[in-house]
Copies of this chain bind each other. A is one copy, B any other.
Amino acid sequence: MNIKQLRYVFEIANNGFNISLAAESLFTTQPGVSTQLKLLEDELGTSIFIRHGKRVTGLTEAGERVLAYAGEVLLNVSSIRNIGLEYSKEDRGTLSIATTHTQARYALPKTVSEFAKRFPRVRLRIHQGNPSQICEMVVRGEADFVIATESIADYEQLLMLPVYRWNRCVVAPPDHPILAEQPLTLETIADYPIITYDFAFAGRSVINKAFNLAGIKPNIVLTAIDSDVIKHYVELGMGVGLLAHMAFDEHKDQNLRAADVSHLFDYSTTSIGVRRGRYLRRYMYDFIEMFAPNYKREAIAGKLRPGSSIPVFEEENLPLR
């Protein structure tokens, strides 16, 4: 058994059980992957993948278990590599953040540019996706952090640090009648066509919950994954926008007006998530601290160590944005 074989297994499973694809993403040839897989299966005395004739189609029961441990090995190996880099090339490296559009566009820029100034030799990478996609990127080790809102408490392998809470506002063109309604109620909002986030996304479920509880069926005419897209369609007059407070900027969005609706919806919490059991470079801790000043290096390091208990973080006293 060797690390390469475990990586091959991992990659085959993450490429739809297609050995040729896996080989490509491993920058090697298909027969090589095939042979190494066979060697590993022979050594273990049991097959890892289910085969229909020659085609690989899924994991055996043993394979599922092997895959889980193989993933851990790869994670640990990458941690060791990172330790090497930490002590040999202190100021160089990569920081890979997986996040949603809203965070990338409205919450992160300040921290990211500060970080880039402080660590000019660290390459930054921002990946976008929906909450489950970005979480899985971190679980698989393809990204260092995930920054997203809710729905991410489900990943046992992620350590989630709540950072701030936020709520929503209604946006509309300056002359829109909804802006005259005081105070805004769910009923009023439901009178108009609504444009808001896609269901898979950032706090959308909170919106649904509020309307459901009130027994109101809102008229959602358009959903998007992206605050800018929502705002654009609101400008075109397609309806009123319902979006995160931070996504509205009085100066930039001069064609729109916003009205706070914090009283109508639950607050959502945005968290930063890291893979448990992973070694984090010092600059990664610094990034966390820049984004969420209440999380100090040592506190997180302790929680990340394998075998440490799942901490429950206070969500009450988080800053609002």
Q: Which of A135-194 touch B at CB < 8 Å?
A: 156-157
Find the residue from A43, A80, A306 having the highest chain B CB count within 10 A.
A80
Number of copies: 2
A113 an interface residue at 8 Å Cβ cutoff? no
A292 an interface residue at 8 Å Cβ cutoff? no
Residues in B whose Cβ lies below 8 Å from that of A89: 45
Among the 9-residue stretches A121-129, A263-271, A307-315, the one with 4 or more Cβ atoms under 8 Å from chain B is: A307-315
Residues in B whose Cβ lies below 8 Å from that of A309: 309-310
- Are A1 and B76 touching (Cβ within 8 A)? no
Q: Which of A62-85 touch B at CB < 8 Å?
A: 62, 65-66, 68-70, 72-73, 76-77, 79-81, 83-85
Q: Which of A41-76 touch B at CB < 8 Å?
A: 43-46, 60-62, 65-66, 68-70, 72-73, 76
- Are A80 and B86 touching (Cβ within 8 A)? no
- Are B45 and A77 touching (Cβ within 8 A)? no
Q: How far apart are the CA atoms of A86 and B45 in the complex, in Å?
A: 9
Residues in B whose Cβ lies below 8 Å from that of A65: 83, 279
Q: How far apart are the CA atoms of A68 and B61 in the complex, in Å?
A: 29
- Are A2 and B1 touching (Cβ within 8 A)? no
Residues in B whose Cβ lies below 8 Å from that of A306: 72, 157, 276-277, 306-307
Residues in B whose Cβ lies below 8 Å from that of A85: 45
Q: How far apart are the CA atoms of A73 and B279 in the complex, in Å?
A: 13
- Are B80 and A66 touching (Cβ within 8 A)? yes
- Are B307 and A84 touching (Cβ within 8 A)? no
Q: Mark A215-248, 1 if CB is under 8 A from B, else 0.
A: 0000000000000000000000000000000000
A3 an interface residue at 8 Å Cβ cutoff? yes
A87 an interface residue at 8 Å Cβ cutoff? yes
Chain B's nearest CB lies how many Å from the CB of A68? 8
**Contacts from A to B (Cβ < 8 Å):** 1-3, 6, 43-46, 60-62, 65-66, 68-70, 72-73, 76-77, 79-81, 83-89, 156-157, 276-277, 279, 305-310
Q: List 21 A-B contacts (CB under 8 A).
A: A45-B85, A45-B87, A45-B89, A60-B87, A61-B87, A62-B83, A62-B84, A65-B279, A66-B83, A66-B84, A68-B305, A69-B79, A69-B80, A69-B279, A70-B76, A72-B76, A72-B306, A73-B76, A156-B307, A276-B306, A308-B310
Given pairs A62-B84, A156-B305, 14 additional interface contacts (CB within 8 A): A1-B81, A44-B83, A45-B85, A60-B87, A62-B83, A62-B86, A62-B87, A66-B80, A69-B83, A70-B76, A70-B80, A72-B277, A76-B76, A156-B308
